[in-house]
Amino acid sequence: MILTFFDQFSSPHLLGIPLIFLSMLMPTLLLPMPRNRWVTNRLSTLQLWAINMITKQLMAPLNKPGHKWAIILASLMMLLLMINLLGLLPYTFTPTTQLSMSMALALPLWLATLLTGLRNQPTTSLGHLLPEGTPTPLIPALIMIETISLLIRPLALGVRLTANLTAGHLLIQLISTATITLLPIMPMTSILTTTILLLLTILELAVAMIQAYVFVLLLSLYLQENI
């Protein structure tokens, strides 16, 4: 069987069971469990602090009605963070490297923010399509441009998440293949590429976290325009 670089984006199976399900069981051990005390150990304290900090950052630009979305946005942030980081483990794949997965998250949430604005303040939401003080001859063209930019937002959300993660995984695959190939021929060069691979892996960990944060942050900014 001939393997390609893109085979890493297909979910591996063992006895008909996708291994991504097995890998998703491991982080559940790190989630805080309900106890009689609020604080049980340092790990739960660190988890609660991280969730609290993320929620504050996401809710900062929103007014009080937008705080109803705190649970949705914080849960989405934790979901994306877990999926992106799990994709870096061996024998797993990243579901968010599939455009269908990213669009399935981006499109409904963007549509929910848009419908929220049209329901609560339709005049203000529609007013975003036409900047104030626009010359009369430019009104039709600007309305078309703003409408297209509005409708392309969910596509930009999904493509940004998928493209960044896909590019990082492909780069890791290329460098790791080069490292193994060069090991018997040029050992010193192979050691150098191994160092680059380790640095790139650390960078990919940062990218996985940053992309999850950017995805949710942009959704909160879209929500801010409609409440």
User: What is the four-CA torsion angle of 92, 98, 100, 103, rounded to 10 degrees?
Assistant: 110
Percent of the chain that is helix, strand, coil (3-state, to 5): 75, 0, 20
Give yes or no for residue 198 having a pLDDT over 80: yes
Q: How many helices (H) and strands (E) does the chain have?
A: 8, 2
- Does the pTM surpass 0.85? The reply is no
CA R_g for the chain: 22
b (16+ CB within 10 A) / e for 101-130: bbbebbeebbebbbebbeeeeeeebeeeee
Dump pLDDT digits (tens) for 134-186.
777 877 888 888 888 888 999 999 999 999 988 888 888 888 888 888 888 88
Dump pLDDT digits (tens) for 99-112.
888 898 899 999 99
What is the average pLDDT value for the chain, to the nearest integer? 81
Q: What pLDDT, on a 0 to 100 scale, did the predictor assign at position 62?
A: 79
Dump pLDDT digits (tens) for 32-71.
666 666 556 677 777 778 888 888 888 877 777 778 888 8
Domain boundaries, the chain: 1-226
